């Protein structure tokens, strides 16, 4: 049986990258809704319909758990997905809680970067209200960053100029943590580290999501033990070139992780 991960595009591969390190004996299916990427700038009900259509297609496979590897999709449809299917459905949310915990001892603020749709949902505002009783969390929508990522635009000058313009109105000395609240954004983490002051921590929700996946699989006796685990790729457009793009993107993430960990 397979653990399925779903996103609008290649962003969710940042979650798969984490899962491969924590749960290397699982078989994985990664599904991208390439017909409708990006989600973050579209109307809520339209996106909800796309999510449910893709989930129904994924469920035709031999799936034992579904990870919604997309903050926007989680904020819109996670309750409906859990009510609709009998298997565990794991969502993700911007890592606001650990960010507040990191910044609070130093009296620093938190900046959450996410898509406009994620930031507009009650799920996000309720999360912030629950963990930020001192009003230290600010939000910054970065819709263009998803499109850059989907086009595999890694040009340093383009991305640095983009971040510099978006951050121009912020006094970064006041901030202690930046949250990458979209799974596409970690592709640009290294460039962001070059721009931000060195005291600022950058975190995302992948680690917490995969820890939750591991816990749920253990609780339900669903942990895999494949000696030759498989990664399969599917996309709503059936575009083989996009499948190759997903494979290239995951290879990029895996190689960067090896450099970071020294393996």
The residues assigned a catalytic role are 70, 182
What order do you get walking across the sheet with 175-180 strand by strand?
137-141, 109-114, 175-180, 201-204
Structure tokens at 247: 């494979």
Query: Could you write out the three-class secondary structure of the chain?
Result: CEEEEEECCHHHHHHHHHHHHHCCCCEEEEEECCCCCCCCCCCHHHHHHHHHHHHHHHCCCCEEEEEECCHHHHHHHHHHHHHHCCCCEECCCCCHHHHHHHHHHHCCEEEEEECHHHHHCHHHHHHHHHHCCCCCEEEEECHHHHHHHHCCCCCHHHHHHHHHHHHCCCCHHHEEEEEECCCCHHHHHHHHHHHCCCCCEEEECHHHHHHHHHHHHHHCCCCCCCCCCCEEEEECCCCHHHHHHHHHHHHHHHHHHHHHHCC
58/43 Cα distance (integer angstroms): 23
């Amino acid at each position: 049986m397979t653990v399925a991960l779903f996103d609008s595009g290649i962003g969710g591969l940042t979650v798969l990258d984490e899962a491969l390190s924590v749960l290397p004996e699982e078989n994985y299916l990664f599904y991208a809704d390439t017909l409708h990427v990006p989600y973050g700038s579209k109307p809520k009900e339209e996106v909800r319909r796309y999510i449910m259509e893709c989930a129904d297609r994924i469920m035709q496979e031999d799936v034992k758990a579904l990870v919604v590897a997309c903050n926007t999709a989680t904020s819109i449809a996670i309750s409906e997905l859990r009510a609709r299917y009998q298997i565990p459905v794991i969502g993700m949310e911007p890592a606001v809680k650990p960010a507040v915990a990191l910044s609070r001892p130093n009296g620093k603020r938190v900046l959450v970067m996410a898509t406009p749709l994620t930031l507009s949902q009650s799920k996000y505002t309720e999360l912030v209200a629950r963990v930020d009783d001192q009003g230290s969390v600010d939000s910054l929508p970065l819709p263009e960053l998803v499109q850059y990522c989907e086009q595999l635009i890694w040009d340093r000058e383009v991305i640095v100029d983009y971040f510099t313009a978006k951050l121009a109105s912020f006094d970064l000395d006041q901030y202690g943590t930046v949250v990458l609240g979209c799974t596409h954004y970690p592709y640009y983490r290294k460039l962001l580290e070059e721009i931000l002051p060195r005291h600022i921590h950058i975190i995302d929700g992948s680690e917490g999501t995969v820890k939750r996946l591991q816990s749920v699989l253990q609780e339900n006796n669903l942990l895999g033990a494949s000696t030759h685990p498989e990664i399969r790729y599917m996309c709503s457009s059936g575009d083989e070139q996009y499948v190759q793009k997903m494979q290239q993107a995951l290879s990029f993430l895996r190689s960067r992780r090896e450099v970071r960990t020294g393996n």
